Amino acid sequence: MKILVCISHVPDTTSKINFSEGDTKFDTNGVQFVINPNDEFGLTRAMWFKEKQGAHVTVVNVGGAETEPTLRKALAIGADAAIRVNTVALDGFSVAKQLANVVKEGGYDLVIAGRESIDYNGGMVPGMIAGLTHANFINNCINLEIDGTSVKATREIDGGKETVSTVLPLVIGGQKGLVEESDLRIPNMRGIMMARQKPLTVAEPIDVSAETTSVKFEKPTPKGAIKLVSADNLDDLINLLHNEAKVI
């Protein structure tokens, strides 16, 4: 089984976010980048298929040379090969078309993508890849079992969970539950050394135009000051809730 794991290169959630050029561009200065968490759950599940079923795992990213350390980390975790599509990730549609081209050229049986990235939270790329490659699609996937070409999966739905069955080829949008946080792997020294010897192919992009553009970014409004009210002063609390917070 050939597995392709889509890897987004995203800012660490602890990074301080700023914008430049009149709040029209994301400022990357001083920002630490990591593997998108939803993608990391998917990568760890792919490692299970590699170890239990002998699957071959390739990771792929759309981006410039600055994303290669993230791909190298994925190789150190255990992926067999990496592909970097050498173009800027313009929007979800353009990224999906670049990735769909990689899927078609590589003949992958299973494509694992995170249900969304934690930077733009578009949640559109996995479904678009499935549509462009005419593959089956399961979103919000929290469990995945494969026997030959038969697939049994569980996905989150409003108010519960749903178990579905399908066949390969398949694209999934994975998330926490596909594996647990305790199952995530930290690259060890042997993995880091081996990653240097594994192939990282730089693929030239196909001609794709963006369907959307970011006009301007805006930070959330800072939280206001907190007022502490004594537990014995209920009249003051009610007055503040009624006249200032206006919630009663």
The series of mean pLDDT values per 10 residues for the chain, 248 residues long, is 97 91 91 96 97 97 97 97 96 96 97 95 95 97 97 96 98 96 93 95 96 90 84 89 88
State the number of CA atoms in the 13 A half-sphere of 107 facing the CB.
Answer: 1
* Angle formed at CA 32 by CA 74 and CA 119, multiple of 5 degrees: 80
Overall fold of domain 2-215: Rossmann fold (3.40.50)
CB-neighbour burial class of residue 221 (10 A; exposed 0-12, middle 13-18, buried 19+): exposed
The closest alpha carbon to 53, from 8, 123, 109, belongs to: 109
SS3 for 188?
A: coil
What residue segments make up the domains of the chain, in order of their start?
2-215
pTM: 0.88
Q: For residue 149, what pLDDT is reported? A: 96
Q: For residue 244, what pLDDT is reported? A: 85
Q: Which helix (H) or strand (E) holds 35?
A: strand 33-35
Q: For residue 223, what pLDDT is reported? A: 82
